[in-house]
């Protein structure tokens, strides 16, 4: 990790829309090789923070610095929320993954052999090469998520950003996706940002975490930040952090305010 | 004007009907085919984006625009007036449809019904003889497409298809996943705007030429046939455009043969092809 030269750096950034301020005086950095989680209640500002990272939302005040690579903008491999894609048209899996190459293919050109090879390699990387010709719209939730991760990998990203990747999945699909992301981080040294409202996903997989809430923005290592005290304050209810067989368990106890 | 007024009673042979259509009404024939192909092509995106009702709204807005140009105070030509009103509607709708207070379909419903109401009021204030063009369009008579109108439509057809083929990747990506496309440097708002401006130009020009029933019908029916029959996206476009080509040919023939108004006959043929596609799809699944 190189603290002096972060990939993304928020400096006293105020984020919001028009006059509506969502997050104020945000300060943190994401470095090469980070596995960074962003967690918080619904509507607390996770998506706003994500948009600022992706450059689709300019800060109202302060700065969001994104490092360039030889003058080229940092390349993001973005995996959107699966439910945000409502495909009526039966795009084949390889066509969806090829969209990740569209930027490189260029105007008036068909994908070259190199693009086709990268699509195949990306599908192989997430263990769904056999789905190559299947229709995206007919896949299960877990399979769709892998296709979207493959498309993000096909962009040859500097950072992989996943927005609620396990939302609405059954337990086995959820663990399978989280293990895949961990593999991409561990084996490929991929810098990963994982956005979720599921505390267990964050607690057991990421290395550093940001609790996103306007009046309670915290950043640090998982053990420092995901404490019973912080989480109880964040959710305004008693929360315990327990350990079982090396895994962290987040236990919510009692009614709100008790 | 009904088709039978221009056919001698003795003309009953099918080959004579075909010859008459090709010789006497080439602009209606070729014009309806290019509108059929273009609306079918754009319709695939419109159905995929779930904005079918927007197509219905824009056809009514363009008829309103056409009606306004018949008012003595309007200095614009019919085509230009209809186009300007439709483009203004697209710009206003693009603002209204992003609001959260009022549902999108309610906004579209409001524009749809108010366009029809205002058009009726406008037509009441125009000399009867001058409204015949609009009334013919609303009744579904497309036989008297002028060469000027045909060549304008041809130019719109070429322009729209060239832009869509040049920027196929952009339109595809934005319609499938605008959010992610935006993170890769594709300007989602820009390409969405380009799409709707092209749709407005096509709908305004086509509605002036072949009427609202034809245009809205071909924005919906051929894409549905493609969706039922094809398992690949490119094939959906091809089948939709094939239905867009065959329906005007068959529909005009049947309009002459059975003395039907041409535009509803063409839409009825497209509907019959859709029904055949549905049956074929059911048979394949059985």
CB contact under 8 A, B227 and A92: no
Cβ distance A100 to A154 under 8 Å?
Answer: yes
CB contact under 8 A, A99 and B181: yes
Cβ distance A79 to A155 under 8 Å?
Answer: no
Provide the pairing of β-strand A159-163 with A247-252: unpaired
Nearest-angstrom CA–CA distance, B146 and B137: 13
| String of DSSP letters for chain B | --GGGGS-TT---HHHHHHHHHHH-HHHHHHHHHHHHHHHHHHHHHHHTT-HHHHHHHHHHHHHHHHHTTSTT--S-HHHHHHHHHHHHHHHHHHHTT-SSS-HHHHHHHHHHHHHHHHHHHHHTS-GGGGHHHHHHHHT--TT--HHHHHHHHHHHHHHHHHHHHTHHHHHHHHHHHHHHHHTT--HHHHHHHHHHHHHHHHHHHHHHH-HHHHHHHHHHHHHHHHHH-SSHHHHHHHHHHHHHHHHHHHHHHHHHHT--HHHHHHHHHHHHHHHHHHHHHHHH-
Reduced to 3 states (helix: H, G, I; strand: E, B; else coil), residue A147 is helix
pTM (2 decimals)? 0.87
pLDDT the model gives residue B130: 66
Q: Nearest-CA residue of chain B relative to A86?
A: B176
A130 DSSP 8-state letter: G
Strand partners, A150: none
Higher pLDDT, A73 or B160: B160
A94 pLDDT more than 50: yes
pLDDT the model gives residue A6: 87
Structure tokens at B172: 């595809």
B128 pLDDT more than 80: no
A191 pLDDT more than 60: yes
Structure tokens at A56: 């689709």
pLDDT the model gives residue A257: 45
Candidates A54, A84, A108; nearest CB to B183:
A54
B40 pLDDT more than 90: yes
Cβ distance B265 to B36 under 8 Å?
Answer: no
A96 pLDDT more than 60: yes
Interface of B with A (CB under 8 A): 44, 47-48, 50, 166-167, 169-170, 172-173, 176-177, 179-186, 227, 230-233, 236
- A69 band by pLDDT with thresholds 50, 70 and 90: low
Compute the nearest-CA separation of A172 from chain B (Å): 26
Dihedral angle computed from the Cα positions of residues A118, A122, A125 and A127, in that order, rounded to the nearest 10 degrees: -130
Candidates B44, B180, B233; nearest CB to A78:
B180
Candidates A54, A89, A99; nearest CB to B236:
A89
Higher pLDDT, B220 or A216: B220
Nearest-angstrom CA–CA distance, A142 and A126: 11
Chain A CB contacts of B230 below 8 Å? 90
CB contact under 8 A, B177 and A85: yes
Strand partners, A8: A30, A66
CB contact under 8 A, A105 and B50: no
Region B40-51: mean pLDDT is 94
pLDDT the model gives residue A71: 67
Compute the nearest-CA separation of A241 from chain B (Å): 35
Please identify which residue in the block is written with the tokens 């086995």: A172
Q: Rounded to whole angstroms, what are the CA distances from B143 to A51, A151, B22, B147?
A: 54, 50, 12, 12
Chain B CB contacts of A88 below 8 Å? 47-48, 50, 227
Cβ distance B54 to B168 under 8 Å?
Answer: no
Chain B CB contacts of A56 below 8 Å? 182-183
CB contact under 8 A, B186 and A102: yes
Interface of A with B (CB under 8 A): 54-56, 73, 76, 78-80, 84-92, 95-96, 99-100, 102-103, 105, 107-108, 135, 151, 155
Number of neighbouring beta carbons within 10 Å of residue A216: 12
B16 pLDDT more than 70: yes
Region B153-179: mean pLDDT is 94
Compute the nearest-CA separation of B278 from chain A (Å): 17
Q: Nearest-CA residue of chain B relative to A109?
A: B166
B99 pLDDT more than 80: no
Dihedral angle computed from the Cα positions of residues A167, A206, A61 and B99, in that order, rounded to the nearest 10 degrees: 0
Backbone angles phi and psi of A244, in degrees to 5: -145, 120
Chain A CB contacts of B186 below 8 Å? 102-103
- A1 band by pLDDT with thresholds 50, 70 and 90: very low
A43 DSSP 8-state letter: T
pLDDT the model gives residue A40: 87
CB contact under 8 A, B179 and A155: no
Q: What was the ipTM of the complex prediction?
A: 0.87
B70 pLDDT more than 70: yes
Nearest-angstrom CA–CA distance, B188 and B171: 9
Nearest-angstrom CA–CA distance, B75 and B199: 25
Q: Nearest-CA residue of chain A relative to B165?
A: A108
How many angstroms separate the first and last alpha carbons of chain B?
A: 46
CB contact under 8 A, B186 and A95: no
pLDDT the model gives residue A118: 96
pLDDT the model gives residue B14: 83
Region B39-59: mean pLDDT is 94
Provide the pairing of β-strand A35-39 with A61-66: unpaired
Cβ distance B196 to B175 under 8 Å?
Answer: no
Nearest-angstrom CA–CA distance, B48 and B62: 23
- The rounded percent of chain B whose pLDDT value lies above 70 is 92
Residue B250 CA neighbour count, 13 Å, CB half = 13
Structure tokens at A195: 């956005």
Q: Nearest-CA residue of chain B relative to A93?
A: B232
Region A55-82: mean pLDDT is 86
Region B130-136: mean pLDDT is 70
A166 pLDDT more than 70: yes
Provide the pairing of β-strand A159-163 with A191-196: parallel
Phi-psi region of A212 (alpha: psi -120 to 50; beta: other; left: phi over 0): beta
Give the lowest-confidence range in A171-175, B34-38, B158-162, B199-203. A171-175
Candidates A84, A108, A155; nearest CB to B184:
A155
**Helical axes B262-285 vs B212-229, angle rounded to 10°:** 10
Candidates A55, A85, A103; nearest CB to B176:
A85
Higher pLDDT, A244 or A3: A244
CB contact under 8 A, B233 and A91: yes
| Nearest partner of B35 among B220, B207, B250, judged by Cα | B207
**Test the A interface: residue of B180, B228, B233, B281 with most A CBs within 10 Å:** B180
Nearest-angstrom CA–CA distance, B235 and B239: 6
Cβ distance A161 to A195 under 8 Å?
Answer: yes
Structure tokens at B46: 């419109």
Cβ distance B134 to B140 under 8 Å?
Answer: no
Region A182-190: mean pLDDT is 91
The mean pLDDT of chain A is 89
Q: List, for residues A40-53, the tens digit of each pLDDT value.
A: 888 889 989 999 99
- The rounded percent of chain A whose pLDDT value lies above 70 is 95
């Amino acid at each position: 990790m190189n603290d002096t030269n972060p990939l993304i750096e928020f400096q006293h950034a105020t984020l919001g829309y028009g006059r509506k301020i969502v997050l104020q005086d945000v300060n943190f950095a994401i470095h090469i090789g980070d596995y960074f989680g962003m967690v918080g209640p619904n509507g607390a500002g996770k998506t706003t923070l994500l948009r600022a990272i992706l450059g689709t939302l300019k800060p109202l005040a302060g700065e969001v610095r994104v490092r360039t690579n030889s003058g080229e903008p940092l390349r993001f491999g973005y995996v959107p929320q699966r439910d945000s894609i409502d495909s009526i048209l039966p795009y084949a899996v390889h066509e969806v993954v090829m969209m990740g190459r569209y930027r490189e293919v260029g105007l008036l050109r068909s994908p070259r052999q190199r693009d086709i090879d990268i699509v195949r390699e990306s599908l192989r990387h997430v263990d769904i090469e056999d789905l190559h010709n299947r229709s995206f719209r007919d896949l299960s939730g877990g399979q769709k998520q892998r296709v979207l991760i493959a498309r993000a990998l096909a962009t040859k990203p500097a950072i992989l950003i996943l927005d609620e990747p396990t939302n609405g999945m059954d337990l086995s699909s959820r663990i399978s996706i989280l293990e895949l992301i961990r593999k991409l981080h561990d084996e490929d040294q991929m810098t990963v940002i994982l956005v979720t409202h599921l505390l267990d996903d964050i607690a057991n997989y990421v290395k550093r975490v940001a609790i996103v809430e306007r009046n309670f923005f915290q950043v640090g290592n998982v053990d420092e930040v995901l404490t019973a005290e912080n989480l109880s304050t964040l959710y305004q209810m008693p929360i315990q952090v327990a350990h079982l067989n090396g895994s962290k368990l987040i236990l919510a106890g009692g009614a709100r305010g008790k | 004007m009904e088709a039978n007024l221009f056919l001698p009673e003795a003309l009953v042979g099918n080959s004579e009907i075909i010859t008459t259509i090709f010789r006497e009404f080439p602009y209606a024939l070729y014009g309806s085919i290019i509108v059929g192909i273009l609306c079918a092509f754009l319709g695939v995106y419109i159905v995929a984006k779930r904005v079918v009702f927007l197509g219905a709204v824009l056809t009514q807005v363009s008829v309103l625009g056409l009606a306004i140009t018949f008012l003595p105070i309007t200095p614009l030509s019919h085509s230009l007036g209809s186009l300007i009103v439709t483009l203004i509607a697209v710009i206003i709708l693009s603002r209204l449809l992003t609001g959260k207070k009022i549902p999108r379909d309610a906004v579209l419903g409001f524009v749809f019904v108010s366009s029809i109401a205002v058009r009726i009021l406008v037509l009441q204030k125009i000399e009867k003889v001058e409204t015949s063009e609009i009334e013919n369009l609303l009744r579904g008579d497309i036989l008297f497409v002028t060469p000027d109108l045909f060549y304008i439509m041809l130019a719109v057809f070429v322009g729209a298809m060239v832009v869509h083929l040049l920027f196929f990747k952009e339109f595809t990506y934005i319609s499938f996943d605008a959010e992610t496309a935006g993170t890769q440097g594709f300007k989602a708002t820009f390409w969405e705007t380009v799409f709707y401006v092209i749709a407005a130009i096509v709908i305004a020009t086509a509605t002036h030429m072949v009427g609202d029933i034809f245009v809205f019908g071909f924005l919906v029916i051929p894409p549905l046939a493609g969706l039922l029959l094809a398992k690949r996206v490119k094939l959906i476009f091809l089948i939709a455009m094939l239905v867009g080509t065959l329906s005007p040919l068959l529909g005009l023939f049947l309009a002459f043969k059975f003395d039907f108004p041409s535009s509803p006959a063409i839409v009825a043929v497209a509907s019959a092809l859709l029904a055949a596609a549905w049956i074929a799809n059911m048979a394949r699944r059985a």
